[in-house]
Amino acid sequence: MVAHEVICWDCGSKIEDPFVNTCPRCGGLLTVKMDLEKVKEMRPEDLRKAPLGVWRYAPFMPVDPANKVSIQEGGTPLYPVKALGKEIGVENSFVKFEGLNPTGSFKDRGMTMGVSHAKELGAKVVGCASTGNTSASLAAYAAKAGMKCAVFLPSGKVAMGKLAQALFFGAKVLSVDGNFDDALALARKMADERKLYLLNSINPYRPEGQKSVLFEIMDQLEYDVPDRIILPVGNAANIWAVYKAVTELKEVGWIDKVPMLTGIQAEGSAPVARAFASKTKDFIPEEHPETVATAIRIGNPVSGRKALHAMYSTGGFCTTVTDEEIIKAQQLLGRREGVCVEPASAASVAGLKKLRETGVVDRDERVVCICTGNGLKDPDTIINNCAPPIKCGNSVADVERILSQ
Ligand SMILES: *Cc1c(COP(=O)(O)O)cnc(C)c1O
Ligand SMILES: [Zn+2]
């Protein structure tokens, strides 16, 4: 295991109790401080014997690989998207397709780390509140680890594929009266009373696994750092994880340039984007977040302050896109590139398009959009936005007539 300590991101206190999720002294957010002295003597090539994936980067991770609970997460493709890029006006664009993780979203990167750490601690019960993908992922890793799993979902508003997964993997699926923020409050209460080990992204070990998406992008681009990385922002842990990975690569001397980290929120659920627009370090929670992109339908993002720090200190940006722009971008990715992402993931591409139109992104920038989840998670949204199947008679002539239209 790589030497590390858990500290408070706000006051710097060292946290000794592995079951707390906020600083006992100041209530602040926790983070993992890695000791990377040994990695400074290594080169990226030294890690390449292991397959592309989360555990290739074990020297940057705080959990002993001997305790690894893995379903071979990570190792997702980085597509050059020429046709899409041409249409948007940023030809040198890439899509990192996280929908090809074992349970269909980037959440698996954090969950392999979080559940492995739970195993290290001897936890028997794990749990989380979720807009869907976190619960789908946790349910799978808990099954793999032989742990009991409780997931707290906001009633309604969870995409069908995600609900199906949580049920399928054998979790206790609890439908909580309220929105995501209410479900999280209940899960945290359970954790505070030591009834379960909490694996929401407030858990500092999850972002440690999520750092691997940035490490992989760098490997796939041969350490030629892109100008900008764009990702959707919900609870805001992922953009924080990417930022943390960037700072750690800089610390060990593997990169010297920093990509502009750019977060995209949905218009109806945008506390971080509004804070960014008013240049503040903190955000004002929103009471009734609403968007078709259910994975980022979050009014009180747990890591919102960390995300703002990530964007400010990399010269990044944050803006919103409408549901209509999200659906258009989702369809564009499908029709131009053959890639099917869920609505929240399409927000990154919709954001790139908007930022090009408004001149924030230059025509010749090299940009990576992280597409966080698989479109099949939410088939209802796809079907609602596509033309229905075409009624067809049982003859070649009928088919020909339709194809010629
Ligand atoms: C969780 C999730 C997000 C949001 O990530 P945060 O770390 O909460 O900002 C975006 N897209 C998908 C598909 C997700 O599952
Ligand atoms: Zn503190």
Q: Quick check: is 95 in a domain?
A: yes
237 lines ligand 1 (CB under 6 A): yes
**pLDDT for 130:** 87
Q: Taking residues 87-113, report their average pLDDT.
A: 98
Q: Provide the H-helix boundaries in 146-252.
A: 160-168, 180-192, 205-210, 212-220, 237-251
Indicate the top mutation candidate among 212, 265, 296 to test ligand 1's pocket, ranked by most ligand atoms within 8 A of CB. Answer: 296
- Kindly tell me if the per-residue pLDDT of 156 is higher than 90: no
Distance 62 CA to ligand 2 centre (A): 20
- Kindly tell me if the per-residue pLDDT of 157 is higher than 80: no
Q: Which ligand is nearest to the CA of 293?
A: 1
Q: Which residue has the least CA distance to atom 1 on ligand 1?
A: 295
Ranking 123-127, 200-204, 235-239, 356-360 by mean pLDDT, the lowest is: 200-204
Q: Taking residues 288-298, report their average pLDDT.
A: 93
- Kindly tell me if the per-residue pLDDT of 181 is higher than 90: no
Ranking 154-163, 273-282, 392-401 by mean pLDDT, the lowest is: 154-163
Q: Which residue has the least CA distance to atom 4 on ligand 1?
A: 234
Q: Quick check: is 195 in a domain?
A: no
Q: Quick check: is 87 in a domain?
A: yes
Indicate the top mutation candidate among 96, 101, 105 to test ligand 1's pocket, ranked by most ligand atoms within 8 A of CB. Answer: 105
Domain tally, the chain? 1
105 lines ligand 1 (CB under 6 A): yes
Which ligand 1 atom is the nearest neighbour of the CA of 235? Answer: 8
Smallest CA-to-CA distance from 147 within 212, 67, 220 is with 67
Q: Quick check: is 215 in a domain?
A: yes
> Which pair of tokens denotes residue 154?
């906001």
- Kindly tell me if the per-residue pLDDT of 252 is higher than 80: yes
The parent domain of residue 315 ranges over 78-104+206-384
Which string of DSSP letters, residue by residue, matches 116-158?
HHHHHHT-SEEEEE-SSHHHHHHHHHHHHHT-EEEEEEESS-S
Percent of the chain residues past pLDDT 70, beyond the cut = 100
Q: Taking residues 169-185, report their average pLDDT.
A: 90
Distance 394 CA to ligand 1 centre (A): 45
Q: Quick check: is 83 in a domain?
A: yes
Distance 14 CA to ligand 2 centre (A): 8
Mean pLDDT taken over the chain: 96
Q: Are 129 and 158 within 8 A, CB to CB?
A: no
Q: Quick check: is 201 in a domain?
A: no
**pLDDT for 84:** 97
Q: What is the pLDDT of residues 19-48, one digit of tens each?
A: 899 999 999 999 999 999 999 999 999 999
CATH for 256: 3.40.50.1100
Q: Are 318 and 233 within 8 A, CB to CB?
A: yes
Q: Quick check: is 50 in a domain?
A: no
Q: Which residue has the least CA distance to atom 8 on ligand 1?
A: 235
Q: Which residue has the least CA distance to atom 13 on ligand 1?
A: 373
Q: Provide the H-helix boundaries in 278-322.
A: 304-313
- Kindly tell me if the per-residue pLDDT of 90 is higher than 70: yes
201 lines ligand 1 (CB under 6 A): yes
**Sign (positive or negative) of CA dihedral 24, 28, 29, 35:** negative
**pLDDT for 1:** 61
- Kindly tell me if the per-residue pLDDT of 327 is higher than 90: yes
| Long-range pairs of 70-73 with CB within 8 A, sequence gap ≥ 24 | 70/112, 70/116, 70/144, 71/102, 71/103, 71/108, 71/112, 71/140, 71/141, 71/144, 72/102, 73/101, 73/102, 73/108, 73/109, 73/111, 73/112, 73/209
Distance 293 CA to ligand 1 centre (A): 10
> Which pair of tokens denotes residue 372?
């966080």
Which ligand 1 atom is the nearest neighbour of the CA of 236? Answer: 9
Q: Which residue has the least CA distance to atom 2 on ligand 1?
A: 295
Q: Quick check: is 271 in a domain?
A: yes
